[in-house]
């Protein structure tokens, strides 16, 4: 048993370190965006393409999903498998709606001739936001696997995995807040 506790500490430290390195990945993409955001090569500016209300909805969905994820984790103590799975599923539903909205936004932009090939600013926009979206997609697969595992093996077996997932999900939330501020709000204001 000692061994397993040790494992949990090891895993969460390792995962923390991974998140820090992921921070650097996003920092690099943010830097690229900051350099290229005005390089539209004569096209319209990024700011004029942003729909404030739409992005705000996305933000609220994601923030709320972070809340449901933490409720799922706090329900581990109660030992109620049903509650954990319910809140985890809610998290997934919110995450999926976020992702659908993002894909919808992307398709529209491409349709209107503002795809990633249009100019350097659009390239950096799609890459930064898309990389976050890809992370969300990975998180959804992870959450789905956890629901399945919890059903089959019981709560105790997935407890640590669930905590790591929630760390990951909160991290993506923070990254999104940065994207919301740097990409969208700043775009709207200029």
Partner 1 sequence: MFGRLTVEAFKHDFVAMGGALTMVLVAFGIVAALTYYKKWGWLWREWLTTTDHKKIGKMYLYASIVMLLKGVADAGMLRAQQALASGAGNGYLSSEHFQQIFSAHGTTMIFFVAMGLMFALINFVLPLQIGARDVAFPFMNAVSFWLFVAGALLVNTSLVIGEFGAAGWLAYPPLSELAYSPGPGIDYWLWSIQIAGIGSLLSGINFTTTILKLRAKGMTMMKMPVFVWSVLGSMLLVIATFPILTATLLMLSLDRLAGMHFFTSAFGGDPMMYINLIWAWGHPEVYILILPAFGIFSEVVATFSRKRLFGYTSMVWAIGVITVLSFTVWLHHFFTMGAGGNVNAVFGIMTMIISVPTGVKVFNWLFTMYKGRISRMTPMLWFMGFLLSFTIGGVTGVLMAVPAIDFQVHNSLFLVAHFHNMVIGGVVFGYFCGLIYWFPKVFGYKLNEKLGRYAYWFWILGFFFAFAPLYVLGIMGATRRLDHYDASMGWQQLFIVAAGGVGLILVGVLLQVLQVVVSIVNRRKNLDKTGDAWGGRTLEWSIPSPAPIYNFAVLPVVKSRDDFWRMKEEGTTVKPKYEDILVPKNSGKSFVIGAAAFMFAFGLIWHMWWLACLTAVVAIVVLTVRLSDDETEYVITAKEVERIEKSRRPHAA
- The CB-of-134 to partner 1 minimum distance in angstroms stands at 11
Interaction of residue 13 with partner 1, rule CB under 8 A: yes
Q: Is 1 helix (H, G, I), strand (E, B) or coil?
A: coil
Interaction of residue 2 with partner 1, rule CB under 8 A: no
Interaction of residue 124 with partner 1, rule CB under 8 A: yes
Going by C-beta distance under 8 Å and a sequence separation of 6 or more, which residues neighbour residue 24?
none
Residues 30 to 89 in contact with partner 1, rule: CB under 8 A: 31-32, 35-36, 39-41
Among 59, 89, 97, 127, binds partner 1 (CB under 8 A): 127
- Measured from the CB atom, is 61 or 183 closer to partner 1? 183
- The CB-of-28 to partner 1 minimum distance in angstroms stands at 4
Going by C-beta distance under 8 Å and a sequence separation of 6 or more, which residues neighbour residue 156?
none
Among 5, 14, 174, 181, binds partner 1 (CB under 8 A): 14
Binding-site residue total for partner 1 (CB under 8 A)? 39
Residue 148 in tokens: 């399945």
What is the CB neighbour count within 10 angstroms for residue 97? 16
- Measured from the CB atom, is 41 or 53 closer to partner 1? 41
Nearest to 54 by CA among 92, 91, 109, 117: 109
């Amino acid at each position: 048993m000692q061994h397993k506790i040790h494992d949990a500490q090891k895993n969460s430290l390792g995962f923390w370190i991974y998140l820090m390195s992921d921070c650097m990945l996003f920092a690099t993409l943010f830097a690229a965006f900051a350099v290229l955001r005005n390089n539209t090569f004569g096209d319209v500016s990024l700011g004029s393409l942003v729909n404030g209300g739409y992005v705000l909805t996305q933000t609220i969905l994601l923030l709320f999903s972070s809340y449901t994820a933490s409720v799922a984790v706090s329900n581990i103590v109660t030992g109620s498998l049903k509650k954990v799975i319910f809140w985890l599923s809610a998290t997934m539903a919110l995450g999926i709606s976020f992702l659908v909205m993002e894909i919808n936004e992307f398709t529209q932009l491409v349709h209107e001739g503002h795809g990633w090939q249009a100019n350097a600013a659009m390239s950096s926009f799609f890459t930064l936001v898309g990389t976050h979206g890809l992370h969300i997609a990975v998180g959804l697969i992870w959450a789905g696997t956890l629901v399945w595992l919890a059903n089959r093996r019981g709560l105790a077996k997935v407890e640590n995995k669930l905590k790591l997932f929630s760390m990951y999900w909160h991290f993506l939330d923070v990254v999104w807040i940065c994207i919301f501020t740097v990409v969208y709000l700043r775009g709207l204001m200029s």
